[in-house]
Amino acid sequence: MNQTPRGNRLHIAIFGRRNVGKSSLINALTNQDIALVSDVAGTTTDPVYKAMEILPIGPVLIIDTAGIDDVGVIGELRIQKTKEVLNKTDLALIVTDEAGGAYEEELITTIQEKNIPIVMVRNKIDDSENFDIEAMKNQFKLPVVAVSAKTREGIELLKETIIENAPKEVEVSLMGGLIKKGDLVVLVTPIDSAAPKGRMILPQVQTIRDILDHDAFMMVCKETDLEATLKKLNHPPDLVVTDSQAFAEVSAIVPSNVPLTSFSILFARHKGDLNELVEGVRAIKSLKPGDHVLVAEGCTHHRQDDDIGTVKIPRWLENRVGGKLQFSYVAGTKFEEDLSKFKLIVHCGSCMHNRREMMSRINRAKSANVPIVNYGVLIADVTGILERALEPFMAIEEV
């Protein structure tokens, strides 16, 4: 459970005013003293992410946020950071130590506009003599759980309420609909200077696991060994999945009657909206020299000499356009606030984000009328094999 990737965990964000006991609640939920607790208001400044397992919920990512009633110039910045957390929140806990007022009502409205389920948590009931939980339920028209983070009273009921109200399906299965029990999948994983030493990258590992979850079989090989691998098989594989950067080479080897796609295109569906990302690739045709392009990545890794995001993709796009483009780069949790100047957004496969955060970015791009495409879709397009890479999804009517 501790090794479950962040992007595959249920994201539970805790909101509330300063000093209502948000950090104490984290300690109570996990039965560990892992969050700093103080009587001084405003102890939590930037959002704090804690990957953990909460039985019986399973692997989750708890996000502790600054108080929504913070003050001053710095306080306003903290509140902004708190609101940004909503872009990745699967379930919101709003903590209060009293009946609740304007701060809570405004926050509830903001969260409900994003269609995020909410559970109200009335903390510090050990200090309250006349708390009316039914009045609070009628006030907010939301599930309300009364707890004491200090004595742990009500914590088990809160866990049960989290389970009842959490999204039942956080993400789409990677291989769902593409394979069935007993199928054979060949995975093509180049080992080059960009590959991490001694291990495989996260999308490859997650794909392997998903194939096993479907009771299917797999073979893994490098692109240089693909031809020999296929010759060793008694029958053609049911699907071939390749690293996007080996698309052209792999497509030339894999017979036309064998379905072929990429890890990045799998993640385009798994984390976001594949149809919207495919639509985004059309914008490449209308790019002109001097246009602004945003390249976004979910992780902050060491850049290689021929880095995909900062070297290869800019080179491919400028070759297509026939001139220089203006590129901006963001990584990790950062994303541009004002998207209006961009003519195209190119996003990574988003294996480090959860689905809600990637969908939030896609929806923001749509609202700004800016096309968005991901690495795999773009690479398939510039190598001339996009239609073939999408055929497995056309077969199940998802594209």
Cα(315)–Cα(41) distance, rounded to whole angstroms? Answer: 50
pLDDT band at 2 (very low <50, low <70, confident <90, very high): very low
Q: Can you give the pLDDT at residue 196? A: 63
pLDDT digits (tens, 9 = 90+) for 16-36: 998 899 988 988 887 776 544
Indicate the domain borders of the chain: 6-165, 174-399
pLDDT at 133: 85
List the one residue out of 351, 307, 348 whose CA is nearest residue 204. 351
Spatial separation of the C-alpha atoms in residues 172 and 147, rounded to whole Å: 34
Interior/surface letters 348-367, b for 16+ CB within 10 angstroms, e for the rest: bbbbbbbbbbbbbbbbbbee
pLDDT for 268 equals 86
At the top level of CATH, which class does the domain 174-399 belong to?
Answer: alpha beta
pLDDT at residue 7 tops 70: no
Helix (H, G, I), strand (E, B) or coil at 218: strand
Tokens linked to 238: 């049911």
For 374-395, what is each residue's pLDDT tens digit? Answer: 998 998 898 888 999 999 998 8
**In CATH, what is the architecture of 6-165?**
3-Layer(aba) Sandwich (3.40)
Tens of pLDDT, residues 208-262 = 999 999 999 999 999 999 999 999 999 999 999 999 889 889 999 999 999 999 9
**Element of type H or E holding 249:** helix 247-253
Cα-Cα end-to-end distance for the chain = 34
Give the residue from 138, 19, 128 showing the smallest Cα distance to 120.
138
Please state, in angstroms and rounded to a whole number, the distance separating the CA atoms of residues 359 and 374: 12
pLDDT tens, position by position, 86-129: 888 989 999 998 877 888 999 999 999 988 999 999 999 888 77
Dig out the tokens for 137 from the structure.
């339920």
Main-chain phi, psi angles of 286, to 5 degrees: -100, 0
Asked whether the beta carbons of 188 and 156 are under 8 A apart, the reply is no
